[in-house]
Amino acid sequence: MMRTRPLKVALLGCGVVGSEVARIMTTHADDLAQRIGAPVELAGVAVRRPSKVREGIPADLVTTDATALVKRGDIDVVVEVIGGIEPARTLITTAFEHGASVVSANKALLAQDGAALHAAAEEHGRDLYYEAAVAGAIPLIRPLRESLAGDKVNRVLGIVNGTTNFILDKMDSTGAGYQEALDEATALGYAEADPTADVEGFDAAAKAAILAGIAFHTRVRLDDVYREGMTEVTAADFRSAKEMGCTIKLLAICERAADGGSVTARVHPAMIPLSHPLASVRGAYNAVFVESDAAGQLMFYGPGAGGSPTASAVLGDLVAVCRNRLNGATGPGESAYAALPVSPMGEVVTRYHISLDVADKPGVLAQVATVFAEHGVSIDTVRQQGKDGEASLVVVTHRASDASLSGTVEALRKLDTVRGVASIMRVEGE
């Protein structure tokens, strides 16, 4: 049964993602209508620069007044692909107030204000979907929220930023340093002119907050996510990683504590074994590993960004939201009933790879080992390398809390025989 009156869609933003959403809505109109049960009509497109030529978009649909568009009152679904906090936040809230459901790709906004936006959606009995906000085309939010709704997720471990994965993969495969790899990423369009959000881990941290919230049925705010960028990763770190049978990835890690009573979320570079499925994720691809009680280990892999992959995720949400509307229903909203405390980074337990520059004289290893022991950090392996009075010690620890490790490192720095701490890298995925 096909309804003939179309559902009206307002598109806010018509850039990299929005232009692809509009294109597919036009070229796949018949399929979308069949899958939804009613045709969908592009009712308006809000942009900043009205005079820009936009292929395939009728000029009379284009407006710079996004607010008026979402207030029209006849809009069924607002697709927000402007990005950033404002005006996106106000536009989405206004959309709910005027009866529309919302599909968004805006990780920054969702990570910061997800709870308030979900509350607004619920208050007005509308949907808020945002599959595209995490890992682009990869179905992740829907599987976590729906497919695993009968399971207990314990861990989410993911490569959720394509730019940094491209850079790290380059460093790994060519031996290049960070700057050289970044330059290549920029030249090829994988990194933006200002790469801060990516390389400093802000983008991944926003995604970690969203994923942790959904996985643990707990509100996790952006501020709850420990964040460390990957600008300090060196070619030497990759050499150390290789010696351990590892590579280095920038990971978003969301974990339930062993006792189940709290959760953590963090983003930082980490060594992972080459045998781990995430180790072979190349270039700008994304992949997310999920561990749950009953399902065990699952992995989701695909393009994490790009106009058309992201549009695929937006359109999947658009179809779902339109179906819900025709059904007079809404999909699953925010689920934060577990309300678990989010522990600080100090309570995270993992393994560490530490490179120390030390004096090349007898007794140094004993001194260093004593410091580890005093802080309750147990050593797995040590490797000593020395030449010309200079030496290095590479220590790999057993599992220890981040707080114990920090204490250890602080004490190591105070040793006369330790000239410097060359690098500290967490070891994950074992």
Binding-site member from 37, 99, 139, 306 for ligand NAP (CB under 6 A):
306
The phi, psi pair for 359, rounded to 5°, reads: -70, 140
Tell me how far the alpha carbon of residue 55 is from its chain's centroid. Answer: 31
Identify what 311 binds: ligand NAP, a second copy, none; CB under 5 to 8 Å per kind. Answer: a second copy
Choose between 17 and 233: whose C-beta lies nearer to ligand NAP: 17
Identify what 243 binds: ligand NAP, a second copy, none; CB under 5 to 8 Å per kind. Answer: none
Choose between 195 and 316: whose C-beta lies nearer to a second copy: 316
Determine the Cα–Cα distance for residues 234 and 423; give it in Å rounded to an integer.
9
Active site includes 207?
yes
Binding piece for ligand NAP, criterion CB under 6 A, among 82-90, 291-299, 353-361, 389-397: 82-90
- Using CB under 6 A as the binding rule, whether residue 345 contacts ligand NAP is answered as no
Determine the Cα–Cα distance for residues 195 and 284; give it in Å rounded to an integer.
14
Contacts of 298 (CB under 8 A, 6+ apart): 143, 289, 290, 291, 292
Smallest distance, Å, CB 347 to ligand NAP? 30
Binding piece for ligand NAP, criterion CB under 6 A, among 103-111, 115-123, 194-202, 277-285: 103-111
Choose between 116 and 338: whose C-beta lies nearer to a second copy: 338
Determine the Cα–Cα distance for residues 404 and 425; give it in Å rounded to an integer.
15
Smallest distance, Å, CB 203 to a second copy? 20
Smallest distance, Å, CB 333 to ligand NAP? 21
Binding-site member from 87, 283, 331, 333 for ligand NAP (CB under 6 A):
87
Choose between 45 and 132: whose C-beta lies nearer to a second copy: 132
Smallest distance, Å, CB 22 to a second copy? 12
Asked whether 425 and 232 are in contact (CB, 8 A), the reply is no
- Using CB under 6 A as the binding rule, whether residue 429 contacts ligand NAP is answered as no
Asked whether 69 and 42 are in contact (CB, 8 A), the reply is no
Q: Give the footprint of a second copy on this chain (CB under 8 A).
A: 20, 24, 28, 31-32, 34-35, 131, 137-139, 142-143, 146-152, 217, 277, 280, 292-303, 306, 308-309, 311-320, 323-324, 327-330, 332, 335, 337-338
Contacts of 55 (CB under 8 A, 6+ apart): 19, 23
Among residues 52, 71, 152, 207, which one is catalytic? 207
- Using CB under 6 A as the binding rule, whether residue 206 contacts ligand NAP is answered as no
Choose between 132 and 354: whose C-beta lies nearer to ligand NAP: 132
Identify what 206 binds: a second copy, ligand NAP, none; CB under 5 to 8 Å per kind. Answer: none
Q: For residue 242, which of 180, 172, 182 has the smallest C-alpha distance?
A: 172
Residue identified by tokens 């939201």 is 321
Binding-site member from 7, 10, 11, 18 for ligand NAP (CB under 6 A):
18
Degrees (nearest 5) of the Cα angle 207, 209, 214? 95
Among left, alpha and beta (phi > 0; psi -120 to 50; other), residue 321 is alpha
147, amino acid identity? S
Smallest distance, Å, CB 239 to a second copy? 24
Contacts of 410 (CB under 8 A, 6+ apart): none
Asked whether 291 and 297 are in contact (CB, 8 A), the reply is yes
* Residues in 123-142 at the binding interface with ligand NAP, rule: CB under 6 A: 132, 136
Determine the Cα–Cα distance for residues 269 and 250; give it in Å rounded to an integer.
4
Contacts of 421 (CB under 8 A, 6+ apart): 354, 355, 356, 357, 409, 412, 413
Binding piece for ligand NAP, criterion CB under 6 A, among 28-36, 43-51, 276-284, 377-385: 43-51
Using DSSP's 3-state secondary structure scheme, residue 380 falls into: strand
What is the 3 state secondary structure string of 47-65? CCCCCCCCCCCCHHHEECC
Interface residues with ligand NAP (CB under 6 A)?
A: 12-18, 46-49, 52, 66, 81-83, 87, 105-107, 132, 136, 305-306, 310
Residues labelled catalytic: 207
